[in-house]
Structure 1
Amino acid sequence: MSGTAYAVEAHALAKSYGGTPVLAGVDLRVVRGSVFALLGPNGAGKTTTVRILATLTGPDAGSATVAGFDVVRERRRVRRAISLTGQYAAVDELQTGAENLRMTARLAALGRRDARARAAELLARFDLAEAGDRRVATYSGGMRRRLDLAASLVGQPSVIFLDEPTTGLDPSGRQAMWDVVRGLVRTGVTVFLTTQYLEEADQLADRIAVLDHGRIVAEGTAAQLKERVAGQRLDLTLTGRGAYKAVAAHLHGRLAHRAPERLTLSVATDGSAAHIRALLDEVDPARTEVTRFAVHTATLDDVFLQLTGRTTKEAARV
């Protein structure tokens, strides 16, 4: 492995399908031993980026290295250093958990005894030891995802790509996966994950990049990205449709969020009492238009909305 401090580096990655640009010059740097989150709506190019970095497809232009190896010229060396877990668990439901892991270990050229030992180690590590002799068809969604990730670690990769790893999981399953990811990083593994869950990136990522229409539109820590929107936001609930339209028109260009179905508008504020009073007096001098207000710390969802023009729920429906 190269002595570079970066586990993943990409410069000006470009990719088109059928003449339609999917990536339009993506630059990335991921520090070794960290969690990097790539956020973006459906169709932004997240999976294409991962496929290029994992050597499953080649870029039309640009360059990238993973674990110090070029993804085009040194594909075999890259593949030995990484694992890729897709959006849906790729395990054999007719086999037990232990059989899945032993089979994967044998395919990775481990001997029979070593394969059995590695399978037992991973089952224990992912809290699946008691379920190891059960057929995977009886597993919950969260258990299948953990088994899938365990299988991807049989070869002890230094870089793990997780493409929307908690898709379809309930809150407890998602929390369990987050704990697994944190445990991986403590062992020195680099985790590159794509997600549409802003809370996931906020909880896990050391650094976050927002991808939209094939371009990186923002990058930084969660705190840095939130600062781009505002430290705080003031949510105003209006008395009726007419008041909503009037205040929205007045604040045009300064709005951080609109929720017409709830008659609610959001505007940036520094959170001080003086600024909040000034905003309320500005938009509702007669004190007849605003029925209630609330002050919130800016979230990654606010960042996502400002940068992509969509909430994460809207992006998921695209």
Structure 2
Amino acid sequence: MGASVEIRGLVKWYGGRAVLDGVDLDVAPGSVCALLGPNGAGKTTAVRIATTLLRPDGGRVEVAGVDVVARPREVRRRIGTVGQQATVDEVLGARQNLVLFGRLHHLDRATARRRAGELLAQVGLPDTGAQPVREFSGGMRRRLDIAAALVLAPQVLFLDEPTTGLDPAGRRDVWAAVRDLVAGGTTVLLTTQYLEEAERLADQVSVLDGGRVVASGAPRELTAAIGGDRLELVVTDPARAAEAAALAERVAAGPPVPDRRGEGARLTVPVSRRAGVVGNVVRALDEAGIGVADLVLRPTTLDEAYLRITGRDRVAEEVPA
């Protein structure tokens, strides 16, 4: 089966500058792809082109097997979009909103009412149909926004920073709704500034920077590519830090990075194999009579991978404390 979203050599110019400069992207059916990148990287521009709201200056984009430039109306019948701003009416109730969207999509009144009930249940709002939207929490509003984008049961759903401004509870509500959609076979292309969101939801992550895709892969693949897991330990006797580093390196199979802070000596050792590494390091240090004040095996996060890939970690290091 082909990709639900296929982008090849996508180019878009603004004011003499290439906002998108040869972007390639494939999103598999029934998966979540997260587009990450700093402000101005071209994430929203790429989504606007894929949803037929902008014309590209070069390249090719197909969504659900349909070319977005040659047959935009057919694309629109196959997609749903949730932008950064809410689209639902705050005065109307949730059911009224969804019936309205259904009628705008040319559903007859009975079908629109039936579809509204189905969608409220699908996004976890089954008992809120008559409640005015102005009384909803932020998370409930965003779930209703997603429901409105699903009126025609789209093959592909585009979510442009859907949880911006939501509190943690509201963010979790939206995540749950997205997971349910994907479990039902919907393909999701997500732009987000929240690295945790991409780590929780995405099967694939593509990082845009300078108008190009600078890294792509599963979240775990991206973190592994910059060093994988790390063992952090503090020995009680700073005088034995070098000895502890040599032992830890031998066991964990990674060169240690000493970080002298506080009363002890803190070491960070990249780990090439997880199985038994903590116990083995503790045992080796204990046999050598080296006391350990703290020890933890910590996976590299997607935040760290993103900062390393885009070079933002170097910028942070150059800023004086």
TM-score (norm 2): 0.79
Q: Deviations over 1:86-121 (max 9, x none)?
A: 122211111111111010000111111111111111
Matched ranges for 1:271-286 at <5 A = none
Q: In structure 2, how many angstroms separate the alpha carbons of the residues matched to 1:63 and 1:168? A: 33
Identify if the C-alpha distance between structure 1 residues 16 and 267 changes in structure 2 by more than 3 Å, giving closer, same or farther.
farther
Contact 1:234 1:276 in 2 (8 A): no
Q: In structure 2, how many angstroms separate the alpha carbons of the residues matched to 1:255 and 1:45? A: 38
Among 66, 71, 92, the alignment partner of 1:74 is 71
2:166 maps to 169
Among 60, 64, 68, the alignment partner of 1:63 is 60
Contact 2:278 2:297 in 1 (8 A): no
Contact 1:269 1:276 in 2 (8 A): no
Matched ranges for 1:221-300 at <5 A = 221-233=218-230, 268-270=270-272, 295-300=297-302
Q: Deviations over 1:15-54 (max 9, x none)?
A: 1111122111100011111111111111111101101111
Q: Deviations over 1:221-259 (max 9, x none)?
A: 11111111112235689xxxxxxxxxxxxxxxx999x9x
Among 80, 86, 92, the alignment partner of 1:83 is 80
Letter in 2 for 1:203: R
Letter in 1 for 2:306: F
C-alpha displacement of 1:129? 2.6
Among 280, 285, 303, the alignment partner of 2:305 is 303
Contact 2:52 2:72 in 1 (8 A): yes
Q: In structure 2, how many angstroms separate the alpha carbons of the residues matched to 1:102 and 1:274? A: 60
Say yes or no: does 1:211 pair with 2:208. yes
Query: Deviation above 6 Å: which 4+ runs of structure 1?
Result: 264-267, 273-277
Contact 2:7 2:62 in 1 (8 A): yes
Structure 2 spans left out of the alignment, 5+ residues: 235-254, 283-289, 317-321
SS at match of 1:5: coil
- Which one has a bigger Cα radius of gyration? 2
Higher mean Cα deviation, 207-216 or 294-303? 294-303
Q: Deviations over 1:159-212 (max 9, x none)?
A: 000011111111121111111111111211111111121221111111111111
SS at match of 1:129: coil
SS at match of 1:131: coil
Among 94, 104, 107, the alignment partner of 1:107 is 104
SS at match of 1:209: strand
Among 163, 175, 196, the alignment partner of 1:199 is 196
C-alpha displacement of 1:295? 4.3
Q: In structure 2, how many angstroms separate the alpha carbons of the residues matched to 1:50 and 1:117? A: 30
2:25 maps to 28
Letter in 1 for 2:66: F
C-alpha displacement of 1:127? 2.2
TM-score (norm 1): 0.80
Say yes or no: does 1:14 pair with 2:8. no
Identify if the C-alpha distance between structure 1 residues 82 and 226 changes in structure 2 by more than 3 Å, giving closer, same or farther.
same
Letter in 2 for 1:308: T
Q: In structure 1, how many angstroms separate the alpha carbons of the residues matched to 2:174 and 2:87? A: 16
Letter in 2 for 1:296: R
Q: Deviations over 1:111-168 (max 9, x none)?
A: 1111111111111222223221111111110010010000000111100000111111
Q: In structure 1, how many angstroms separate the alpha carbons of the residues matched to 2:17 and 2:205? A: 26
Identify if the C-alpha distance between structure 1 residues 165 and 255 changes in structure 2 by more than 3 Å, giving closer, same or farther.
farther
Identity of aligned residues (%): 51
Among 109, 118, 133, the alignment partner of 1:136 is 133
Contact 2:124 2:177 in 1 (8 A): no
SS at match of 2:4: strand
Q: In structure 2, how many angstroms separate the alpha carbons of the residues matched to 1:200 and 1:107? A: 32
Contact 1:55 1:71 in 2 (8 A): yes
Say yes or no: does 1:190 pair with 2:184. no
SS at match of 1:6: coil
Q: In structure 2, how many angstroms separate the alpha carbons of the residues matched to 1:265 and 1:170? A: 35
